[in-house]
């Protein structure tokens, strides 16, 4: 017979487990129902996307990058396209930027509604799952109406977007948004009043403001801990600079707070979509970009529904990129999970993992470390890297010198 340790029980949650929709390994040490330790093992779904990008042209990469994530496919492709456009120094037409913003927000709506359903399922509230996903169909249909498909919209291309949005479509979108707004108000009511939901969510998976900063949490996970950080607001891309919206934060620090942030962000998204449709200028949707992208490199940031998504593209002047690096938001949040599950119950595990809205397959990248002695020149010290980044931003027109001095003074005064 199997003989476990006398007082500790180690159970595998994943790589195949009903709580996880994707393969990921969590080894949980239990004492009774209490979690004593957690080991996270990433990398079950490494697909070699970054390497594959290097072997394809920029246009082919668009569709590959879009498939990094099934839920936030527009986020990844926009992020990539922004980086390439920066290297090629292309002026993207205003109308295209607005359409990108619109699709991005519709995507956020569908992603957050999806999350709401998943969260309901993880706490055994299947009715919430069914209703949230039924209503999600409205936004899926809108996305299909505009882009042609429910997922992997194929909207972005280098220099603009591929499809225009007509008057009728805009009206349909507004109609759908109105229904969704009503429904979202209802879900806010449910989330804040239903006893069993509050019982299961509040006080679970706590991560304090300091820890959220220290562990580098991003997106709604960080915002629920009071970290006022949103790329859309702090470093506006696409048309966000011309749109007014609030960054939703919460101070609950727990899964309940994350739920509130997400449902309230839905309401913000509806406002953004309405503004987009109102302000959208006429004009072309595409600037022609040569197939060969000039030599250069760029990083691009995008606020995906799950948090900050970072793409780095390096071009060598050919039709194919030299290097593409993707940092999916889940990678930033996964470290926080371990922290959140400290001294919690096994029953909290699924919802705490789900609360960062994980997208494990998007996260998996492989890094091989070569012997540092061999290629000393390639490795930068922390200080050198910092100086380099300051110089780099200076070239972009952003000067950090003053900010750094302020910070230094502040630290010294302490």
Q: Which residues bind other proteins (CB under 8 A)?
A: 1-2, 4, 9-12, 17-19, 30, 33, 56-57, 59-64, 66-67, 120-128, 130-131, 134, 137, 141, 144-145, 147-149, 152, 154, 157, 162-163, 186, 189-190, 193-200, 345-350
| Residue closer to other proteins, measured from CB, 79 or 212 | 79
Strand partners, 34: 31, 345
Comparing CB distances to other proteins, the nearer of 34 and 386 is 34
CB-nearer residue toward other proteins: 174 or 346: 346
Nearest alpha-carbon partner for 95 in 176, 163, 175: 163
Q: At closest approach, how far in Å is the CB of 239 from other proteins?
A: 22
Residue 291 and residue 55: Cα distance in Å, rounded?
15
Distances (CA, A) of 98 to 64, 123, 167, 276, 281: 23, 38, 14, 6, 8
Cis ω before 15 (30° cut-off from 0): yes
Q: How far is the CB of 137 from other proteins (least distance, A)?
A: 7
Of 313 and 332, CB closest to other proteins: 313
313 pairs with which residues across the strands?
298, 324
Alpha helices per DSSP H over 38-125: 49-54, 58-66, 73-88, 94-122
Q: Report, in Å, the least distance between residue 123 CB and other proteins.
A: 5
Using alpha carbons, select from 288, 230, 247 the residue that is nearest to residue 96.
288
Closest distance to other proteins from the beta carbon of 377 (Å): 36
Cβ atoms of 26 and 33 within 8 Å: the answer is no
Q: Which is nearer to other proteins, 22 or 194 (CB)?
A: 194
Minimal distance, residue 413 CB to other proteins, in Å: 46
Question: At its nearest, how many Å lie between other proteins and the CB of residue 108?
Answer: 20
> Of 38 and 218, which has the nearer Cβ to other proteins?
38
Measuring CA to CA, which residue among 249, 291, 388 is closest to residue 57? 291
Cα(163)–Cα(159) distance, rounded to whole angstroms? 12
């Amino acid at each position: 017979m199997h003989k476990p340790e006398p007082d500790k029980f180690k159970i595998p949650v994943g790589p195949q487990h009903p709580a996880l929709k994707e393969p990921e390994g969590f080894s949980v040490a239990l004492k009774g129902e209490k979690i004593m330790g957690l080991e996270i093992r990433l990398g079950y779904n490494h697909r070699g996307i970054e390497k594959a990008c290097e072997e394809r042209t920029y246009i082919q990469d668009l569709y590959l990058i879009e498939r990094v994530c099934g839920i936030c496919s527009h986020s990844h492709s926009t992020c990539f396209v922004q980086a390439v456009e920066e290297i090629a120094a292309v002026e993207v037409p205003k109308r295209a930027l607005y359409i990108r913003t619109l699709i991005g927000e519709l995507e956020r709506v569908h992603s957050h509604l999806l999350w709401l359903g998943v969260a309901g399922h993880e706490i055994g509230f299947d009715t919430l799952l069914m209703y949230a996903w039924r209503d999600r169909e409205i936004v899926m249909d809108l996305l299909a109406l505009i882009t042609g498909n429910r997922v992997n919209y194929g909207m972005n291309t280098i220099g603009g977007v591929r499809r225009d949005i007509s008057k009728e479509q805009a009206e349909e979108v507004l109609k759908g948004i109105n229904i969704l707004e009503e429904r979202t108000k209802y879900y806010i009511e449910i989330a804040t009043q239903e006893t069993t939901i509050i019982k299961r969510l509040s006080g679970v998976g706590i991560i304090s403001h300091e820890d959220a900063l220290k562990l580098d949490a991003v997106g709604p996970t960080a915002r629920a801990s009071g970290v006022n950080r949103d790329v859309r607001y702090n470093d506006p891309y696409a048309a966000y600079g011309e749109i007014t919206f609030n960054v939703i934060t919460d101070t609950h620090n727990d899964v309940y707070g994350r739920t509130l942030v997400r449902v309230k962000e839905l309401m913000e998204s509806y406002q953004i979509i309405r503004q987009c449709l109102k302000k959208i200028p006429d004009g072309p949707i595409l600037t022609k970009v040569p197939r060969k992208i000039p030599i250069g490199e760029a990083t691009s940031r995008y606020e995906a529904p799950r948090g900050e998504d970072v793409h780095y593209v390096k071009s060598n002047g050919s039709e194919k990129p030299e290097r593409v690096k993707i940092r999916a938001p889940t990678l930033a949040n996964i470290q926080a999970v371990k922290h959140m599950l400290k001294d919690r119950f096994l029953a909290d595990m699924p919802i705490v993992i789900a609360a960062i809205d994980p997208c494990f397959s998007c996260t998996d990248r492989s890094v091989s470390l070569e012997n540092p002695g061999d290629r000393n020149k390639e490795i930068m010290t922390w200080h050198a890297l910092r100086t380099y980044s300051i110089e780099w931003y200076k070239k972009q027109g952003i000067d950090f010198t003053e900010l750094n001095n302020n910070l230094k003074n502040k630290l010294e005064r302490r």
